[in-house]
Amino acid sequence: MITVQGFEGRRVGVLGLGRSGLATCAALRAGGADVCAWDDSPEGRAKAEAEGFSPVDLTKSGAVDDLAALITSPGIPHLYPAPHPVIAAASAAGVPVDNDISLFFQALADSDDAPRVVCVTGSNGKSTTTALIAHLLEEAGREVRMAGNIGTGVLSIDLPGDEGVVVLELSSYQTDLARRLAPDVAVFTNLSPDHLDRHGGMGGYFAAKRRLFSEGAPERAVIGVDEAEGRYLAMQLGQGAADSRVIRISSGQKLQGPGWSVFARKGFLAEWRGGRQVHAIDLRPLAGLPGAHNHQNACAAYAAVRALGLAPRQIEAGLASFQGLPHRSQLVGERNGVRFVNDSKATNVDSAAKALQAFPRIRWIAGGLGKEGGIAALAPYLGSVVKAYMIGHSARDFALQLGAIPHEICETMENAVARASAEAEPGEVVLLAPAAASFDQYPDFEKRGAHFTALVQGLAEA
């Protein structure tokens, strides 16, 4: 655990008592703060009590007025679509509002032997890129801690020793609020519309991501330039085309110029520096990184660890041993020549499009709690779909947007897996890429993916 100093004997509010909130409470208490913990749910407050914290109702009038700071969990709105009442009260009282990511960087600033820190943000591919960076470093013999949006509260980790690295996945919710950001290497994967209500539109969403670079001032920035926002960010950060502090990455286009770039085309990753190719890797055999979207993740991870001093051959060996993450283009079974792939994390149209481009013949399971626009934007990517099997709340709405694509309304995952597996032929892939949230039938995308995986394993045992 990291001890947060600077609040000895002072009242500090913690709003939201999930995994990161409880870790924040413990880190503040270890540093001598008087922790005022609050969660709107009785379940959250009960968890805090079990950890030895007595909840303090911060919603009461005047409860936040004498706080030294209010530390809030990332899922709680602080501006759009409307600030949480406790945050609004803190803002009105002049109380600084911050988050655990900021406290982490504050703690590192007070350390004499702080580790190197890599931060990864973007719309899609953050988790895979984060895990791949950590894997490549570990395979090269470096001590690594992985935390942030990927599931571990950053203040709950123990800092690595000499030559160690902390790798953080950061969502826009986290980068938007953090008062202190100071990564050594910062990665921007890509940008597509998401969380727009939380950021007041696309401009606010990009601005939240951009803070990691504008406020963080990393020594090295790895920037995906396949969208206009990434190209703009790379231009802003660089001091000219040859500035090697910016490493441009792409999936699908060859990057020109005298600077430092890493790109993937037709399944091959290439690193270029000073106008010449330094190294190339064939990504096509890598089972843990299928498809162009994962090739972009590979480029981002490759660039990040190159910036930390790893040699190309070390990276190539690490890429070959990477098994991928659960629920992200995860091969969960094979039966009679048919592969079953779990991409439950594909909760929006953009991530589903990437999954649909990764395989040639697909039995597609999709649906759930659809987002604005449904799946209309996926029309250019449905050429590989043999048949679609629609589930969940949006099944019928999605079916109406499929045009001439053969489809079936299955409603439940059980029916969809049974029908798809019965009709699939050797060489085809049964792909779960819902293009929708899970909350109509499952508490989260992990539970949805786990259910799909269990059903597939049940087929193998039948």
- Known binding residue 329? Answer is no
CB 423 within 8 A of CB 387: yes
Beta-carbon-side half-sphere exposure of residue 64 (alpha carbons within 13 Å): 25
| CA 151 to chain CA centroid, nearest Å | 10
CB 165 within 8 A of CB 116: yes
CB 69 within 8 A of CB 95: yes
Dihedral angle, C-alpha 443, 357, 259, 188, nearest 10 °: -10
Strands 144-148 and 69-72: what pairing? unpaired
- Known binding residue 126? Answer is yes
**Helix (H/G/I), strand (E/B), else coil: 313:** helix
| CA 319 to chain CA centroid, nearest Å | 19
**Helix (H/G/I), strand (E/B), else coil: 223:** strand
Strands 260-265 and 246-251: what pairing? parallel
Torsion sign over Cα 237, 172, 90, 155: negative
**Rounded distance, CA 212 to CA 182, Å?**
8
- Known binding residue 373? Answer is no
Residues shown for the chain: 462
CB 122 within 8 A of CB 192: no
* Element containing residue 451 per DSSP (H, E): helix 445-461
**Rounded distance, CA 421 to CA 413, Å?**
12
**Rounded distance, CA 90 to CA 87, Å?**
5
- Known binding residue 125? Answer is yes
- Known binding residue 161? Answer is no
**Rounded distance, CA 216 to CA 234, Å?**
15
- Known binding residue 124? Answer is yes
The CA–CA distances, whole Å, from 185 to 108, 144, 213 equal 15, 14, 9
Q: Is 173 exposed, middle or buried (0-12, 13-18, 19+ CB in 10 A)?
A: buried
- Known binding residue 128? Answer is yes
CB 292 within 8 A of CB 354: yes
**Rounded distance, CA 310 to CA 157, Å?**
24
CB 349 within 8 A of CB 358: no
Binding residues: 122-128
Binding-site entries for ATP: 122-128
